[in-house]
Amino acid sequence: MQFASLSLHPHGNYLVQHCVRNRRTGSPQHDLLPIVLSACNRQSIRELQGLVQTTPATFVLHTLLETCNAVTVSSLLT
């Protein structure tokens, strides 16, 4: 399945979010994060616009952006 399809799915969006951040511990999934970012990067502008406007996918994008920001800040501090 594609990133967009899973992000839009009522249950699939939880899978994508878990690939970004461990739902139990809240810590970033450092080994999976680059794969998810690459999949997101392959989306067209139109697909990304659709994700931003759809409820399940907005949670995925929020988790992705929030986690990437935390990882970036963390790497800058070390």
What are the tens digits of pLDDT across the range 20-59?
999 999 999 999 999 999 999 999 999 999 999 999 999 9
Asked if residues 2 and 41 have their Cβ atoms less than 8 Å apart, the reply is no
Of 26 and 76, which is predicted with more confidence?
26
Number of H helices, E strands in the chain: 5, 0
**Cα 36–39–45 angle (5° rounding)?**
125
pLDDT at position 13 is 97
Half-sphere exposure of 66 (CA within 13 A, CB side): 11
- The sign one gets for the Cα dihedral 2, 48, 55, 39 is positive
Domains of the chain: which residue ranges?
3-77
